[in-house]
Structure 1
Amino acid sequence: MAPRANWKGFLRLSLVTCPVALYPATSESEKVSFNQINKKTGHRVKYAKVDAETGEEVANEDIVKGYKVDTDTYIEVTKDELEDIALESTHTIEIDEFVPKSDIDSRYLIRPYYLVPDGKVGHDAFAVIRETARSMNKVAIGRVVLTNREHVIALEPLGNGLMGTLLRYPYEVRDEKEYFDDIQDVKVTKDMLDLAKHIVEKKSAPFEPEDFEDHYEAALVDLINKKRAGVRIPAKAAPKTGGNVINLMDALKRSLTSEEESGPAAKPKGAKRPKKRVEGQREMLLPISGKKAKEEQKKEEPKKAEKPTRAPARSRKAG
């Protein structure tokens, strides 16, 4: 099924305008998720919106937004009033300026989106904006309204499209001085720095996200499949605590020795690592329905449940 756009409107640079659609660039739908259930009945817990004073359930059409002034006083704000203050930016990403990408503090980054032309028209205008930003190595800064809230968005070329990243406002970013002022000003000797650099060199590698493994996700799936198969889960032994580091120089030397003995073999220059299988929870957790299906699974399952393997996940666009 084709992904659904979070937002549709226009991208505008001065008098150049084109229709565009905004799609989420990331998804957590493949992660294992849980529902809350009643331990006594096994039924799913349902949440109801109720009046805090009367305890009566409130219908969705009767719920509005309110700003709390004091304990029992709220200023009601309607959906129409919120849309009115959003102004033109509700339907248009207006590019206000272009900045060097290196100037954007990573603390201001929130989440990425994909911006693409919407429909068959406007591809030429979209390409002009994209290639101009690419040739000048600039990032476009604009504004977009999502869920009645205006956001600052940074647009940069990514392949044939644009990646838009929502940015935080200055009041949302805390001042680091409140946290860093108490850090001691320690003098690092050249010998310690040289040893640490050797360790870094041993651990240096290209950034390859496909090598990332979600160990907790795999453990969750393994736990669920074992419980589904009726395998008893033994209690986990308490982790061993390491001793305190007394001599920093000695710890650095031991770390370097450890890396040299057990570190991964260097990858030949230009060699590519094999692509790891992209796995999703749907491929790992296969539903069991009905008594017959359960009996069939018990016949096929070994005495000890093995860790499930997933089939390669289908390639899908984020959405």
Structure 2
Amino acid sequence: MAPPRAYWKGSLKLSLVTCPVVLYPASTTVEKTKFHMINRDTGNRLKQQMIDAETGDVVEKDQKTRGYEISKGEYVEIEKDELESVQIESNHTIDIDNFVPRDEIDRRYLNNPYYIAPDGKAGADAFAVIRDAMKDQDRVALARIVLTNREHVIAIEPLGKGLLGTTLRYPYEVRDEADYFDDIKSPKVSKDMIELATHILDSKAAHFNPEKFKDEYETALKTLVKRKAAGKPIKTAPKEEKDDNVVSLMDALKASLKGGKSPTKRASAARRPAARKRPAKKAGRSAARHRKAS
């Protein structure tokens, strides 16, 4: 099968060793169920239009351009060819700056993955040298690359016969966890509870296997679309009742370890039959009144 169209073409450079390479996106959303906006009355698909925020007029494609807001409501226009005039080395070259230990890369900085392959036979030897040299080191190469008019730091590591490049976020793009975690309380938890929780973790130990990942929501969406297309009725999901029962954390841990239901659910289930009987009696009295009136 012919490889997909390259997302980026350029050179991979390690010191004085250079080879032509291509980048392909390593992820895709093609299989995801997608919806279009349609006109409820006609069933026709809708199209989006750009509207002038001040005049309300529709703006045609040839009238659109980019602008950077320098003050409130005042923009400086930037044309496409002007953006392309911003030439830096990483526009066409992935220049490896340094190598860092793999485990030092904070996972919050990982962004989008790309496959890096040699572009033609000319640079195959140089590509193999760079790839195989990296296999012997538990380190990841850090380089710079320009994608969609933005320069990114990219982490590169061997993957099979090729290389995997993952763009990284800049520090200003990663939020500080202290803003979200500082108010979390630190209650005293008993050693017994920790040991029970540890046993639960051990009972669920497994190996990472993405083949076992099942997108249940996607499956449900496809079923919904098929039923709707076939003219079958769609059942609306009942609202989940909020359970306000306060359950002992220790009891919940013990029940979890045994693989049973949570005490909360058992307590809720115990109350449900009594809740159903009262409306039934009331309905019976209403029926009796109706017969008496007749």
Q: Could you tell me the TM-score, scaled by structure 2's length?
A: 0.84
The Cα RMSD (Å) is 1.7
Alignment map for 1:124-203 (pairs within 5 Å): 124-203=125-204
Instruction: Indicate how the Cα distance of structure 1 residues 10 and 46 shifts in structure 2: closer, same or farther if over 3 A, else same.
Output: same
**Structure 1 CA distance for aligned equivalents of residues 114 and 63 of structure 2:** 33
**Structure 1 CA distance for aligned equivalents of residues 246 and 159 of structure 2:** 46
Is the CA contact 1:86–1:148 (under 8 Å) kept in the aligned structure 2?
no
More helix by share: 2
Deviates more, 1:60-69 or 1:197-206: 60-69
**Structure 2 CA distance for aligned equivalents of residues 52 and 196 of structure 1:** 56
Which SS does the other structure have where 2:122 is aligned? coil
Is the CA contact 1:25–1:112 (under 8 Å) kept in the aligned structure 2?
yes
Aligned match of 1:285: none
Alignment map for 1:1-319 (pairs within 5 Å): 2-258=3-259
The C-alpha deviation readout for 1:237-287, integer Å capped at 9, x for no partner, is 222434444311111111101169xxxxxxxxxxxxxxxxxxxxxxxxxxx
Instruction: Indicate how the Cα distance of structure 1 residues 50 and 238 shifts in structure 2: closer, same or farther if over 3 A, else same.
Output: closer
Letter in 1 for 2:40: K
Aligned match of 2:285: none
**CA shift for structure 1 position 21:** 0.3
Aligned match of 1:312: none
**CA shift for structure 1 position 59:** 3.2
The C-alpha deviation readout for 1:176-222, integer Å capped at 9, x for no partner, is 11111111122332211110111011111111111111111111111
**Structure 2 CA distance for aligned equivalents of residues 176 and 230 of structure 1:** 49
What stretches of structure 1 of length at least 5 have no aligned partner?
A: 261-319
Is the CA contact 1:110–1:166 (under 8 Å) kept in the aligned structure 2?
yes
Equivalent residues, number? 260
**CA shift for structure 1 position 51:** 2.5
Instruction: Indicate how the Cα distance of structure 1 residues 196 and 78 shifts in structure 2: closer, same or farther if over 3 A, else same.
Output: same
**CA shift for structure 1 position 19:** 0.3
Instruction: Indicate how the Cα distance of structure 1 residues 242 and 206 shifts in structure 2: closer, same or farther if over 3 A, else same.
Output: farther
**Structure 1 CA distance for aligned equivalents of residues 236 and 260 of structure 2:** 32
**Structure 1 CA distance for aligned equivalents of residues 6 and 260 of structure 2:** 47
Which SS does the other structure have where 2:236 is aligned? coil
**Structure 2 CA distance for aligned equivalents of residues 60 and 120 of structure 1:** 41
**CA shift for structure 1 position 138:** 0.9
Deviates more, 1:65-74 or 1:104-113: 65-74
Deviates more, 1:186-195 or 1:169-178: 186-195
**CA shift for structure 1 position 79:** 2.2
Deviates more, 1:51-60 or 1:142-151: 51-60
**Structure 1 CA distance for aligned equivalents of residues 111 and 207 of structure 2:** 24
**Structure 2 CA distance for aligned equivalents of residues 19 and 131 of structure 1:** 17
User: For the pair shown, which has the larger CA radius of gyration, 1 or 2?
Assistant: 2
Instruction: Indicate how the Cα distance of structure 1 residues 241 and 55 shifts in structure 2: closer, same or farther if over 3 A, else same.
Output: closer
Is the CA contact 1:86–1:150 (under 8 Å) kept in the aligned structure 2?
no
**CA shift for structure 1 position 71:** 2.8
Aligned match of 2:286: none
**Structure 2 CA distance for aligned equivalents of residues 243 and 54 of structure 1:** 53
Is the CA contact 1:99–1:139 (under 8 Å) kept in the aligned structure 2?
yes
Structure of greater relative contact order (alpha carbons < 8 Å, 6+ residues apart): 1
Which SS does the other structure have where 1:22 is aligned? strand
